[in-house]
A = this chain, B = another copy of it.
C-alpha cells in the first residue's frame, strides 16, 4: 500500500518559502535560497541521490489549488511524471500534460484515496504547505523529509504551524549530510 510522504526544504527557523508567495515568485521573496541545493550547477552525490530517490519513489501527487496555480507555468508540465490530484473547491476539467495528468478533486481524503490507488507500490507525495498541514493534522502522513538549509530567513511561510496542540511523535529514519543541506527523514509514529 502506498505511503504518504512530504518533502520540504526548510530553513533552520522553519520557513519553507519566503514571504509573499505568488505565481511570479513561487518560493516567495528570497525563498529561492531554500532551493539553491536543488539547482546547483554541479550537485554533489548526496543531493543528487536525494533528488533521484524523490523522483523514483513518487507514484502520485496530491497538491493544493494554490500550489497548482502558482506552479503550473513554472513546471510547464506536472511537477512529477505521475497522476496529480489537485484539492480544490473549484474543480477544473482534467488536464493532460506532457508527462502526467491533473485531476481536480474537492476533498483531501478523497484525493489521497485516489492518489494511493494510482501510486501502486510507490509513494503519494503531498505538495503545498496548506495541504501538507491538513494532511499532517488529520494523521494521513507516514513520512516527513526535511532538507534543512543552514540559514535563518527571518520571515516567510512556515510548514509546521496551526497543527493543533497534540504532539505528533516522529522517529528519525535517516540523516544525510551534503555540503549545502542536511537531509532528515522522519517516520510518523503516533498518528492522531
Q: Which residues of A contact B (CB under 8 A)?
A: 12-14, 19, 30, 33, 136, 144, 146, 148, 150-155, 158, 160-161, 163-172, 175, 177, 182, 184, 186
Q: Is the beta-carbon distance between B12 and A146 smaller than 8 angstroms?
A: yes
Residues of B near A151 (CB, < 8 A) are 167-170
A-B contact pairs, 7 of them (CB 8 A): A12-B160, A12-B170, A12-B186, A136-B152, A152-B170, A154-B163, A154-B167
Residues of chain B lying within 8 A (CB to CB) of residue A155: 165
**Cβ–Cβ < 8 Å partners of A163 in chain B:** 13, 152, 154
Closest Cβ of chain B to A164, distance in Å, is: 5
Chain B residues with CB under 8 A of A14: 13-14, 158, 160
In the complex the two chains form, is A150's CB within 8 Å of B171's CB?
yes
- Shortest CB–CB separation between residue A74 and chain B, in angstroms? 23
Residues in B with CB closer than 8 Å to A144 are 12
Q: Say whether A168 contacts B154, CB under 8 Å.
A: yes
A33 and B170 CA atoms in complex are apart in Å by: 12
Question: Which residue of chain B is the closest to A188 with respect to CB atoms?
Answer: B152
Contact A167-B12, Cβ < 8 Å, known A175-B175, A182-B175: no
The 9 closest A-B pairs by CB, nearest first: A13-B160, A150-B170, A152-B168, A14-B14, A155-B165, A154-B165, A154-B163, A150-B172, A154-B164
* Residue of chain B at shortest CB distance from A19: B165
